[in-house]
Amino acid sequence: MSRLGLGAVVVRLLAASRAALPTVAIAAALLAVLSSVLVPIASAENDGWAPPERVWVEETGQTVDKTFLTEWRDNMGLIGDPITQELKERVALDGVKTRERTVQYYTNLALVSTYDDERGDDWNFRSLPRGIDALQRDSMRLKNVTLPKTDKCKGFSDDECLYFKDTKHATKLGFKNYWEAHQGEQLLGSPLTEEFVAPDGWTTQYFENGVLLWKKDKGVVPRALGKEAAARSKISTKGITQPNDVPVYAEALFSPPQPVVEVTLPQSPGPQQGTYKEVVVSISQQYMWAYEDGSEVIESWVSTGTAETPEVTTPVGNWSVLTKYDSQTMEGTISGQYYRVEDVPYVMYFDNLGNALHGTYWHNNFGHPMSHGCVNLPMDVAAFLYSWTDIGTAVTVIP
C-alpha cells in the first residue's frame, strides 16, 4: 500500500469516526486500523501460492484445466470461450498416430492434446483441422466466387506477406499480423486460400485449422468453427454447475499476491501551543496532524513549499487561522514567474504572507514539497479541516 493510500484510509476512518465517537475513542480506532493495515503479508513464495490448475468460465458454464489452460489464456481472442468439457475422441492427425485423444471444443477452434506424442517439436496440443472441413463444406456457397490465385508475395515486403510452400498460398497484412500474434503455425496452420471477399461481404481467408474474417469496422475476427463443429456432431454444449473447488476464471488468479510493504507513519509530535484545537505541520516529514482537546482527530501526508527560494518556503512558527474561503483563485508573481490557479478549494490562511492550508486538485504527490509556500492538502482532508477549524484555530509549523 502506498503512503498516500494508507493516509487516505486513516483520514476516512478518523473523519467518519469523529461524528460517532469521542475523540479518545477516535485515537483508539486509529491505532486499531494502523495495526491491521501495516502487518506485512507473507511473500508468495513463503505463502505457498500457486495459480489454479482449473477454472470455471461463467459465460459458458464450462471448465478449462491444465491440459489447455495456459494456451487458452495466451490466445483467448482466437480460441474463444470453452463450449464443452474435455472429451475423448479418436483423432487422425498428420505426423502422429491415430488414436483416442483429449479434445475440447471452443467457440472458434477445437483443441486436441498431443502431450505424449514424439513429434519433433515442443507442442503439447494443436488444433483440429476444422478449416479444411469448412472449406469443403462451403464449396457450394462459394461456387460463384472466383478464388484468387496466389502471386506469392509479389509487391509486398517480408513484413507484409508470408508465403507457405506447403500449401502454395500467402497471408498478408492484417491477416498475417493476426496469424503471427496468435501462434498461427500451431493454432491456425497454413493458409488454404488467398484472401477474398465472400458473398456475405467479409474479407475471408481459410487456414487448415480455422477461418479469419475482416471488415473495416470490425477488424480481424475468427469464424466460430468450433461452435459449428460441435453443433454438426451433436456434441452437448450445456454448461455445468461451478464445481466447489474450482474458481471462476479471472486473470488476476494467475498473478502472485503482492506483499504489502510495511509503512511507518511519522510519529505524532502532539499539540504544540496548548490550545483546544491545533493543526501541526512538519516540513521535514511532509505530514500534518490535527488535535482537539489534546487528542488526534486526523492526520495526512501534505506538500509544503519547495524552499528553492525564501518566497516559496513554508514559514516555521506558531500561527493561527486568520481567514477562510470556500474557494479562491490564487495568482501572483514569484521570482519573476507569474502563476494563476483557478478555484482553489477550502482555503485557510494562517499568516499575513499569503500562506494557507488548502485543498489541492492539481497533483497527487503528497509527501513531497510541491507548493509556493502553502500547505497542499488532499481534497478530503482539506474538506474535513475546513469544516473543523474556526477562525483563530492554532496552526503550528515545525521543521
Mean pLDDT of 253-269: 85
Per-residue pLDDT, 49: 85
pLDDT digits (tens, 9 = 90+) for 83-95: 999 988 887 776 6
pLDDT digits (tens, 9 = 90+) for 130-148: 888 888 888 888 888 888 8
Whether the full predicted model's pTM is greater than 0.75, yes or no, is no
pLDDT at 354 over 50: yes
pLDDT at 23 over 70: no
pLDDT at 263 over 80: no
Per-residue pLDDT, 356: 95
Residue in the block written with cell 474463444: 80
Per-residue pLDDT, 95: 66
Q: Any bridge partners for residue 141, and if so which?
A: none
Euclidean distance between CA atoms 222 and 60, whole angstroms: 18
Per-residue pLDDT, 123: 62
Read off the amino acid at residue 98. T
Residue 44 C-alpha cell reads as 508468495
pLDDT at 105 over 60: yes
Most confidently predicted of 132-146, 254-268, 381-395: 381-395
Q: Parallel, antiparallel, or unpaired: how do β-strands 87-91 and 375-377 relate? A: unpaired
What secondary structure does DSSP assign to 303-338, as a single string? B-B--SSGGGSPPPEEEE--EEEEEEEEEEEETTEE
Burial of 262 (0-12, 13-18, 19+ CB in 10 A): exposed
Query: Residues near 148 by Cβ (< 8 Å), separated by ≥ 6?
Result: 193, 194, 195, 196
pLDDT digits (tens, 9 = 90+) for 323-333: 999 999 998 88
pLDDT at 265 over 50: yes
Per-residue pLDDT, 117: 53
pLDDT at 14 over 60: no
Per-residue pLDDT, 116: 57
In degrees and rounded to multiples of 5, residue 323 shows phi and psi of -145, 155
Mean pLDDT of 19-37: 38
Mean pLDDT of 13-23: 39
Query: Residues near 366 by Cβ (< 8 Å), separated by ≥ 6?
Result: 4, 7, 286, 300, 301, 302, 303, 360, 376, 377, 378
Per-residue pLDDT, 96: 67
Per-residue pLDDT, 122: 57
pLDDT at 120 over 60: no
pLDDT at 12 over 50: no
Mean of all residue pLDDT scores within the chain: 84
Euclidean distance between CA atoms 391 and 257, whole angstroms: 48
pLDDT digits (tens, 9 = 90+) for 177-220: 999 988 888 889 899 999 998 888 899 999 999 999 999 888 89
Per-residue pLDDT, 3: 33
pLDDT at 36 over 60: no
Q: Which residue has the higher pLDDT, 2 or 71?
A: 71
Domains and CATH numbers, the chain: 3-41+262-398 (2.40.440.10), 54-252 (no CATH)
pLDDT at 99 over 90: no
Per-residue pLDDT, 364: 93
